[in-house]
Amino acid sequence: MTEVTLSRPAGTTDVELEAVLSAASAAAAPLAAFRPSERAAFLDAAADALNAAAPELIPVAMRETRLPEARLKGELKRTTFQLQLFAQVLRDGSYLDARIDHADQDWPMGAPRPDLRRVLEPLGPVVVFAASNFPFAFSVAGGDTASALAAGNPVLLKAHSGHPELSALTAAVLTGALTDAGAPKGTFAVVYGTAAGRDVLTDPRVKAGSFTGSISGGRALFDLAASRPDPIPFFGELGSNNPVFVTEAAAAERGTELATAFIASFTGSAGQLCTKPGTLFVPAGSDLVAQLSAAALPPAAPLLNPRIQDGYVEVLQELSGHPKIEILVQGSDPLADPPSPTLLLTTAKDMLADPRSLQVECFGPTALVVEYSSETQLVPLAESLEGQLTATIHGMDTCRVEELVAVLARKAGRVLWNDWPTGVSVTYAQQHGGPYPATTAGGSTSVGTAAISRFLRPVAYQGFPSHLLPEALQDDNPLSLPRMVDGKR
């Protein structure tokens, strides 16, 4: 890669914004016309270029985000892996969900069936709002960008203010790789500033939006997307407490192990993970509670930026000042920069009396331990939850938690058994989404190969001769796709 020297980017001007919007709009049809295997080559080229640029990207990321080198190297690997994984998805072709129903004069509904052929097609330009806590994996070249490009859509990336120089450098690498691989001009661009992000989202040339961040910010953008003269889909990942339920048997069997693992999970990355377990339900008076109260918490670690630090302190003060919450264990200076971790304590009875106040997300190294007096309280506690990204049960095979599992499956996108939610594998069966306020679109995922479906829409063709159909639906199947034909795979 040619060395790139960049100054701190300024906000995108109206003239610049019009140029990138026009280019994205012009690129939409040519990009969609490439075969899936050709777009796969674009993604592989992007992954190779980002891997090659790691020696330049990592130091900038460390300076802007205060995240350690090892974490950032691992995150960059995740980022390039998901680009490569989507390239494999394109080459397989099953993501198109191609379906062919041949004409049938004897179709048993009482009338003949016409020739119908259905396939998923790109939406058009997509605006992606980058996240602060994952400067690679949920940012410029992150999962939303990868899945939108894989689907065949140009991407306009609204850079996060927490790492603007890294955003500019990553964008230069990504744009150069796409151009060199033959992608149309306008396939990818980055914009800066709140006003530019709002203007892109409301521009009629943009056909979908995605976001990872706070409930307030995501909801404001969701409302903008919905209030357009032509409303567009908006896939926002907002907030989640990721509750963990520990049965009496599990607490008795492995209380020390659970205490240690929970502390590691809620303080990992200084508690700045969307899947951080923020609430732990435990039996009152158990050894697990004693282990937690006596635990040595990890040392203070810096938060990503002053805005996150201020928001964390505000919520921690609100929670610790609640009359039904007490401090279980706390580091030397929980409100400092960097803050030391904190564990708070309340009861199931008090949470059921005021769930909204006691279930507020605290984005940082704080979690709330909730003591229950009887396992009969677990289902009502689960029912009191808002939508979550994850929900976890730690139990034994003999524990009767069937009803609890059923409730949590309604409340969360991913339900875990004897594991911790902070690892989100990029794979085929992953679900990273959930009912509001975890996301604005509970039927979608932002991690895993199913994420591509957010940026596609179905089109059915009726009665067309084969040569006028998209290749995915033509009789001779030139793309060699897996297809459903007359109801059979």
Q: Whole-angstrom Cα distance, residue 216 to residue 143?
A: 22
**If DSSP codes are grouped into helix, strand and coil, which group holds residue 465?**
coil
Note the helical H segments in 321-401.
Answer: 348-353, 355-358, 378-383
What is the H or E stretch that residue 27 is in?
helix 14-33
Q: Are strands 99-101 and 116-122 parallel, antiparallel or unpaired?
A: antiparallel
For 103, the token pair is 């004409």
Q: Whole-angstrom Cα distance, residue 331 to residue 227?
A: 46
For residue 274, indicate whether it is catalytic.
yes
Q: Whole-angstrom Cα distance, residue 126 to residue 145?
A: 9
**If DSSP codes are grouped into helix, strand and coil, which group holds residue 312?**
helix
Q: Whole-angstrom Cα distance, residue 156 to residue 125?
A: 7
Residue 453 is given by DSSP the state G
Q: Whole-angstrom Cα distance, residue 304 to residue 307?
A: 8
In three-state form (DSSP H/G/I as H, E/B as E, the rest C), the secondary structure along 337-351 is CCCCCEEEEEEHHHH
For residue 362, indicate whether it is catalytic.
no
Q: Whole-angstrom Cα distance, residue 481 to residue 116?
A: 17
For 307, the token pair is 């805005």
> Of 64, 75, 274, 362, which is the active-site residue?
274
Q: Whole-angstrom Cα distance, residue 437 to residue 215?
A: 7
- Overall size of the chain counted in residues: 489
Q: Quote the distance between the C-alpha of residue 488 and its chain's center.
A: 33
Q: Whole-angstrom Cα distance, residue 102 to residue 463?
A: 9
For 370, the token pair is 């909730």
Q: Whole-angstrom Cα distance, residue 308 to residue 364?
A: 8
Exposure class string for 7-42: b at 16+ Cβ within 10 A, else e = eebeebeeeebeebbebbbbbbeebbebebeebbbb
Are 145 and 157 in contact, with CB atoms under 8 Å apart?
yes
> Of 64, 75, 237, 375, which is the active-site residue?
237
Query: Within 10 Å of residue 122's Cβ, how many Cβ atoms?
Result: 24
Catalytic residue positions? Answer: 237, 274
